[in-house]
Amino acid sequence: MFNALIVEKDEEGKTSASVQSISLDRLPEGEVTVAVEYSTVNYKDGLCIGPGGGLVRNYPHIPGIDFAGTVEASDDDRYKPGDKVVLTGWRVGEAHWGGYSQKARVKADWLVPLPDGLDTRQAMAVGTAGFTAMLAVMALEDHGIKDGPVLVTGAAGGVGSVATAILANLGHEVAAVTGRPETADYLKSLGATQIVPREEINETTKRPLEAEMWGGCVDAVGGEMLARLLGQMKYGASVSAVGLAGGAALPATVIPFLLRGVNLLGIDSVMQPYDNRLRAWQRIAKDLPMDKLDAMVQPATLADLPKLGKDILKGQVKGRVVVDVN
Ligand code: NDP
């Protein structure tokens, strides 16, 4: 028997989440059984702990879109008991039972060996949010980061915090957009040199082009903010579109693409090919300072998750939450 956060749905379609003890034979099929050590809380987890947001297929459900732990049993040659592994994406925690559990059973293809230099707790301090932030930075690098500050939106959130710390550590000037002025000292401690109040960049402008300001951008917000900042990018600069914390609509014009050669780069962490996953985790171990990562972390347990799920949907979680499932 082991503990997991189980989300159930009643006859009226209302969901409720609670920590329950369940048996190993209830785990779904998969080649590798992992003793989970840590998980974390991402925006998608907030949806899956609550009403599901259309992501969860079947109930009862165990959410948790990422986890790190130790292989306990494996039918696949690539993994043996004792190996340290990390998992993000592949719709684990949505369509498949996830990491809010002391045990998880998954496909071997979904796992990545823990990179040298990271332990399981640090891997989940990074989590899907930080892994995606790294993918976003790599995409900017592949297209060339221009001179001048790199903008990070939703900066005090998970993706934004890790992107800020990585970019600053790589020597870029970072301008951090936040709606929470009280996080300014925190963002500066991660390496941001400029704090941009959310309202300054959140309103739709009637002008498709404004002064060229940013040499690149990691955008966790989408919506009107993304539409606005496209017109503020420097000539040839790129925006990695990661998230939709501010909305899925994109009320923009194509003018920044046509007249300034701005690139809008889509970032998907879920179906990312294995080789690029490895590359991203290795870059995280090398380019994300661990003292900065520690400063982002708040600890939590399985019992804290129902509240944290609500908080992250309201944009009230600062940095990264690390869930010790044991
Ligand atoms: P967080 O909630 O930790 O961060 C989001 C941040 O966005 C908030 O902290 C807040 O930052 C800002 N924000 C929230 N609401 C608004 C709003 N209405 N307008 C403007 N800014 C807002 O979430 P994560 O960092 O985990 O994820 C960020 C986004 O990235 C989510 O939409 C998530 O779904 C997406 N994502 C996408 C992935 C992919 O594969 N493409 C993978 C992981 C995440 P502040 O207070 O500083 O303003």
The arithmetic mean of pLDDT across residues 178-191, rounded, is 96
CATH 3.90.180.10 maps onto the chain at 2-114+296-324
CA separation (Å) from 82 to 39, 69, 79? 18, 9, 9
Q: How many residues does the chain have?
A: 326
The 10 Å Cβ neighbour count of residue 193 is: 13
Closest ligand 1 atom number to CA of residue 269: 40
Q: Please say if the pLDDT value at position 306 is more than 70.
A: yes
Helix, coil or strand: residue 152? strand
- What is the predicted pLDDT for the residue at 319? 86
Q: What is the mean pLDDT of the chain?
A: 96
The yes/no answer to whether this complex scores an ipTM above 0.95 is yes
- What is the predicted pLDDT for the residue at 204? 67
Instruction: Give 288: exposed, middle or buried? Use CB within 10 Å, 0-12, 13-18, 19+.
Output: buried
CATH architecture observed for domain 2-114+296-324: Alpha-Beta Complex (3.90)
Looking up tokens 């071997």, which residue turns up?
108
The arithmetic mean of pLDDT across residues 301-326, rounded, is 94
The arithmetic mean of pLDDT across residues 234-259, rounded, is 96
- Picking from 31-40, 45-54, 63-72, 295-304, which range would have the lowest pLDDT averaged per residue? 45-54
- The fourth-level CATH superfamily of domain 127-266 is NAD(P)-binding Rossmann-like Domain (3.40.50.720)
- Residue range 261-280, pLDDT digits in tens: 999 999 999 999 999 999 99
**Any ligand 1 atom below 6 A from CB of 180:** yes
- What is the predicted pLDDT for the residue at 206? 73
Query: Is the pTM above the cut of 0.90?
Result: yes
User: How many A from CA of 159 to the centre of ligand 1?
Assistant: 7
* Residue owning the nearest CA to atom 43 of ligand 1: 129
Beta bridge partners of 152: 176, 218
- What is the predicted pLDDT for the residue at 202? 81
The answer to whether 220 and 242 have CB atoms below 8 angstroms apart is: yes
Q: Please say if the pLDDT value at position 324 is more than 80.
A: yes
Question: Which one of 194, 221, 226, 268 would you pick to mutate in the ligand 1 pocket, going by the greatest count of ligand atoms within 8 A of its CB?
Answer: 221
Q: Please say if the pLDDT value at position 203 is more than 80.
A: no
* Residue owning the nearest CA to atom 36 of ligand 1: 243
- Residue range 78-122, pLDDT digits in tens: 999 999 999 999 999 999 999 999 999 999 999 999 999 999 999
* Residue owning the nearest CA to atom 30 of ligand 1: 243
Closest ligand 1 atom number to CA of residue 161: 25
Q: Please say if the pLDDT value at position 61 is more than 90.
A: yes
Please give the DSSP secondary-structure letter assigned to residue 310: H
CATH 3.40.50.720 maps onto the chain at 127-266
The 10 Å Cβ neighbour count of residue 201 is: 20
- What is the predicted pLDDT for the residue at 53? 80
- What is the predicted pLDDT for the residue at 315? 86
- What is the predicted pLDDT for the residue at 52? 81
Give residues with Cβ within 8 angstroms of 248, minimum separation 6: 222, 223
**Any ligand 1 atom below 6 A from CB of 265:** no
